[in-house]
Amino acid sequence: MRTLDEKKIVVASHNAGKLAEIADLIAPFGFEAKSAAEYGLPEPEETGTTFEENAYIKAHSAAIATGLPALSDDSGLMVDALGGDPGVYTANWAELADGTRDFKIAMERTNLLMGKKGATAPSQRAGRFVSVICVAWPDGHAEYFRGEVEGTLVWPPRGDRGFGYDPMFQPQGHERTFGEMEAAEKHGWTPGQENALSHRARAFQLFARDMLGAA
Ligand code: IMP
């Protein structure tokens, strides 16, 4: 596995919620994490059909543009009753005609489709968040780290913290949704501890262990 020589990385994301979480997770390692927006990088089109492909598209285009290794997260929600949808199209389900995104509408759409499939009892409402972190270098080399968290899609949504679909996702073994949790509780992880909770923190934990030398 290729490691990082310098404590400097570009975070190839334009999503404010994700950027905040990645900044939180990488801070203990003393990294200078600069966002794609700080470099004025455009958002590439995510034309892949897997989280890995889309994560690579984002990280590699930022690495080429800056000459630095870049880290991206491609993530999404997979609902069992919907055959794994919205999956790589999770962000698209929030898109309105004018190009803006509304996650209240995306959650309503998800719940409506689940209702049409008869998935109304909690036992029929299982799903998972997936996060694939990709670190890519300008020469095209890449490393991948995948994290998943199982949970139940609740209705109505609860809580106003986090971002995206957090208010309708209750992780397994917990009473509260991600939307009701403080960021630290949603991550569920600090370096040196075992139990990361969120998909992104789980992917990040693998990245930190393999590439940053975390315990
Ligand atoms: P993309 O990775 O930029 O294609 O977008 C993934 C989408 O998945 C985001 O826009 C969010 O709606 C959703 N998502 C990913 N991670 C989370 C999370 O931690 N909480 C809530 N929604 C998430």
Q: Is 201 exposed, middle or buried (0-12, 13-18, 19+ CB in 10 A)?
A: buried
**CA-CA distance, 104 to 109, in Å (whole number)?**
9
Q: Which of 202, 210, 110, 114 is nearest to 150 (CA)?
A: 202
CA distance 54 to 56: 5
Nearest to 199 by CA among 20, 70, 49, 76: 76
Query: In tens digits, what is the pLDDT along the chain, a chain of 215 residues?
Result: 888 888 889 999 989 899 999 998 998 888 888 999 999 999 999 999 999 999 999 999 999 999 999 999 999 999 999 999 999 999 999 999 999 999 999 999 999 999 999 999 999 999 999 999 999 999 999 999 999 999 999 999 999 999 999 999 999 999 999 999 999 999 998 776 678 999 999 999 999 999 987 76
Q: What is the distance in A from the centroid of ligand 1 to the CA of 81? A: 19
- Candidate list 24, 74, 80, 166, residue with the active-site label: 74
Q: What is the pLDDT at residue 121?
A: 96
Q: How far apart are the first and last CA of the chain?
A: 17
**DSSP 8-state class, residue 139:** T
DSSP state of 196: -
User: At 174, is the secondary structure helix, strand, or coil?
Assistant: coil
The yes or no reply on domain 8-211 and CATH 3.90.950.10 is: yes
H/E element, 155: none
Distance from the CA of 76 to the center of ligand 1, in angstroms? 5
**DSSP at 101:** B
Summarised one tens digit per residue, pLDDT across range 140-188 is: 999 999 999 999 999 999 999 999 999 999 999 999 999 999 999 999 9
